[in-house]
A = this chain, B = another copy of it.
Amino acid sequence: MIDASDQSLIDGVLAGQRRALAKTITLIESTRDDHQLRAGEVLRALLPRTGRSIRVGISGVPGVGKSTFIEALGLALIARGHKVAVLAIDPSSTVTGGSILGDKTRMEHLSQSLDAFIRPSPSAGSLGGVAARTREAMLVCEAAGFDVVIVETVGVGQSETAVAGMTDVFVLLQLPNAGDDLQAIKKGIVELADVVVFNKADLDETAAERAMQQMKGALHLLRAASPDWTVPVLKVSAVKHAGLDEFWSAILRYRDAMQASGAWEARRSRQALDWMWALVDQGLRHRFEHHPAVRAALPDIRAAVAAGTLPASAAALRLLQAMD
């Protein structure tokens, strides 16, 4: 099943070659059916060498300083001997083809390091498709020897759920002003956060302290108490490289606690199965929507349901029968 050029991709990735890594991710991102089949084979060959990184999801609204934070963190981790991959899921890129997170020059220093690999968000397809390809890119990075994979996203729509659903630890980056954490609470992001970080905390210490107390209160309300983990609320100044050690210590404490309780592996198994079923449902829906008889029947049926002249159940039955 695997031809010579794909085998060289596999060998290149396993040898940690950046070019092979980038080409493999490009193959994964292709929407061509033959590319998808090849990508599947390559991924399967790489799978035994995946899973050995810490997968860190980072979310925060534009302006929170994600790039600066990730660059400072990445450089600090590389200085400790880590290899750091940075991937992105950017809902804006799926709509416009443009991307808030796509610009490599955002992390100028990190992108020059040989121990870093930065890949912008895929810019086509639904959020679900983008998320699927980012998950697979994450696995390829792991096979290439990256032992920290950071998946970043902006605080828009369902992208946090997607990122939290593919990472081991989900970090919420906040600004120390009162309006911001309320925003986060509204969007239900706080319920996903395993670690909360206030960036730019040095700009206004008083505001930062107040915001941290508010966040602790919100976490107390919104998170079910866990015997294994209390979500820490940390202060960082990425520009001044302050607080990054404490942040990484929190990540390692989280990993140790979750691995000790078995929750780490359980989360990964659940994520993989959820992902499989999501892809199955997506595949089933895709086949359904592209079925000629369904396509022919859908506009009238949809209009009748919206107008209240056809029951939803009868409509669903008719559409499903159209497929037979």
Contacts and interface: CB of A to CB of B under 8 A. Distances in A.
A305 B272 contact: yes
B185 A320 contact: no
A85 interface: no
Contacts of A40: 311, 313-314, 317
Interface in A265-304: 268-269, 272-273, 275-277, 279-281, 283-285, 287-288, 301-302
B310 A44 contact: yes
Contact of A43 (B186, B218, B313): B313
A186 B222 contact: yes
Contact of A316 (B50, B185, B283, B301): B283
Interface in A127-155: 132, 135-136, 139
Contact of A320 (B269, B273, B284): B284
A96 interface: no
Interface of A is mostly: helix
Report which residue of A188, A191, A311 has the largest number of chain B beta carbons within 10 angstroms of its beta carbon: A311
Contacts of A262: none
A315 interface: yes
Interface of A: 40, 43-44, 47-48, 50-51, 132, 135-136, 139, 182, 185-186, 188, 191, 218, 221-224, 268-269, 272-273, 275-277, 279-281, 283-285, 287-288, 301-302, 305-317, 319-320
A310 B221 contact: no
Contact of A51 (B306, B308, B313, B315): B308
Contact of A221 (B135, B182, B316): B182
Contacts of A186: 221-224
Contacts of A135: 312
Contact of A283 (B48, B139, B283, B320): B320
Contacts of A276: 301-302, 305, 312-313, 315-316, 319
Given A40-B313, A221-B185, A280 B319 contact: yes
A309 B48 contact: yes
Contacts of A277: 316
A305 B176 CA distance: 41
Given A40-B314, A182-B221, A280-B285, 10 more contacts: A47-B308, A47-B310, A47-B311, A186-B223, A269-B307, A279-B312, A280-B316, A281-B281, A281-B284, A281-B285
Nearest to A40: B314
A186 to B, nearest CB: 6
B268 A308 contact: yes
Interface centre among A51, A275, A308 (most CB of B within 10 A): A308
8 contacts: A43-B314, A47-B311, A50-B308, A135-B312, A268-B308, A269-B308, A284-B284, A284-B285
